[in-house]
Amino acid sequence: MNYFLYIFFAITVLPTTTFSQEYKNFTDMANRVVSHTIPLIKPEKVKDKTSQIYFLDAREKKEFFISHIENAQCIGYDFPDFSALNKIPTNAIIVVYCSVGYRSEKMAEKIKAMGYKNVFNLYGGIFHWANLNFPLVDAKNKPTVKVHGYSQNWGKWLLTKNAVYE
């Protein structure tokens, strides 16, 4: 009987405690969603260098079209398209971002494995960028404050309340 209780507990209770983590605040979340396998770079450090840095967006196209960092290229995540890398020197500074940093870290690991040396993960992703009121553009390169929230659960970290879920 104890064996069955143990199995029931392992199947029903453990996954909910492991996968539904609550975060204290944005900083706690931003630090815990990444594995720290790629160096993090703060938005404040790169905000005024968008023409000198290659920004790669690891979100899906529907997210990218709502808004992105100016001059960024969308590489996606589920079915990544790394063709943008063909025009980037291997010693260039590359900053990969997504909503909060998880997907971008995974894509940055792949880019680094391809031989690119200066690859960074944008701390807090586009959510942190938007929370700092840094500029974003839409699919027509027009300024916007909207950001795709990914899901209601993740969109709550957009403090500007400009999340859309199209």
Both tokens of 79, joined, read 């079915």
Residue 15 has pLDDT above 50, yes or no: no
CA–CA separation, 156 vs 141, rounded Å? 25
Residue with the bigger pLDDT between 146 and 51: it is 146
Residues contacting 123, CB < 8 A, separation 6+: 30, 40, 41, 42, 43, 101
Global pTM value: 0.86
CA–CA separation, 120 vs 142, rounded Å? 26
Domain 25-164: CATH superfamily is Rhodanese-like domain (3.40.250.10)
* pLDDT tens for each residue of 63-107: 999 999 999 999 999 999 999 999 999 999 999 999 999 999 999
Helix (H, G, I), strand (E, B) or coil at 81: coil
Q: How confident is the model at residue 14 (pLDDT cuts 50, 70, 90)?
A: very low
> What is the pLDDT, as a whole number, of residue 98?
99
> What is the pLDDT, as a whole number, of residue 11?
53
